Amino acid sequence: MRHLAAGLLAATLMAPAAAAQDDTVTSQCLDERVCVLFGPGGNVALHRGADGLILIDDKYERTGEALLAAIAQLSEAPLSFVVNTHYHADHSGANERMRMAGGKVVAHRNAGRRIGEQVAAAAARGEASAEEWMRLPVLTFDSEIDFHLNGERIRVAHAHHAHTDGDSIVWFEDSRIVHMGDIYFKDVTWPYLDLAAGGSIDGVIAAVRGVLAQIDEDWTVIPGHGPVATHADLHAYHDMLVSIRNAVAAGIARGDDLAAIQASAPAAGYAVGEGFITADKFIEAVYKSLRGETDYSPR
């Protein structure tokens, strides 16, 4: 009887703990200035110093408080800026909360436009709060924007038609760390190409190739999702993307339909998790991207 009661108690205690664990934000500091915050949503980079905190991405709206709490464990400095690597809600969802905490949101012009469209759509459905407009970036740019803060040059550069049409790659030049947003998914899922929002396989490959050309072996690479990576990891990712892209292109040239190309298993042999995107959904995205089609949904 006592065992049963203990078992019930354990089950009762574990249920809420398990639910809470889902929103837990964990951190890994790469040097004195730059930390990565994991947990739900995209990977966040935090830059710390006397000028205040700069965040790269801010996860979901629902995890905004957990993110701020995790940041408070790492620094007492005020939040200065937030860069959105793109418009998806797992990277820009807490913009409103971060802005209320003092963070000025910066994003590529297309990312800002798409966030604006989401805010307008929510308003049309009657679902927008009075503060919904605070999700919008305060500053947008077309090509590049540099920050000179905390003794570091932080370069934010647009990548054309990669994961979306509003992607930014963020370079911590002195720390030798680059945050690639969802241009780079490491291990946990096959890549997601948001074709409906201007993404493309050739844009992703070009962006990855561009990063590889600009970093040395000792750089650290932060992917949009998954663990922190190295130059060698990014090189392997590039080669995998090229291999799959070329296999799909060869199938299209032979006149194969999508099902036949998927059956030829161009993604076989790569150790990637069947996460948000399965191998077959990724091959579908590559196929449609090469054919100029945009009617793609990850589910």
CB of 140 to Zn ion, least distance (A): 18
CB-based contact 276:224 (threshold 8 Å): no
CB of 87 to Zn ion, least distance (A): 8
Q: Is 203 in the site for Zn ion (CB under 5 A)?
A: no
Q: Is 90 in the site for Zn ion (CB under 5 A)?
A: yes
Which CB sits closer to Zn ion, 48 or 225? 225
CB-based contact 20:121 (threshold 8 Å): no
Which CB sits closer to Zn ion, 191 or 266? 191
Q: Is 182 in the site for Zn ion (CB under 5 A)?
A: yes
The piece of 42-50, 115-123, 131-139, 196-204 that touches Zn ion (CB under 5 A) is: 42-50
CB of 59 to Zn ion, least distance (A): 9
**Residue 99 CB neighbour total at 10 angstroms:** 21
Which CB sits closer to Zn ion, 199 or 251? 199
Q: Which DSSP category does 200 fall into?
A: -
Q: CA Rg, the chain, in Å?
A: 20
Q: Is 96 in the site for Zn ion (CB under 5 A)?
A: no
Which CB sits closer to Zn ion, 115 or 149? 115
Q: Is 251 in the site for Zn ion (CB under 5 A)?
A: no
CB-based contact 131:157 (threshold 8 Å): no
The piece of 8-16, 26-34, 176-184, 280-288 that touches Zn ion (CB under 5 A) is: 176-184
At 132, phi and psi to the nearest 5?
-55, -35
Q: Please, which residues have CB within 8 angstroms of residue 227's CB and are 6 or more apart in sequence?
A: 186, 187
Q: Which residues pair with 35 in a beta bridge?
A: 29, 46
Q: Are strands 220-222 and 229-230 parallel, antiparallel or unpaired?
A: antiparallel
Q: Is 42 in the site for Zn ion (CB under 5 A)?
A: yes
Which CB sits closer to Zn ion, 41 or 103? 41
At 178, phi and psi to the nearest 5?
-125, 135
By CB under 5 A, name the binding residues for Zn ion: 42, 88, 90, 182, 224
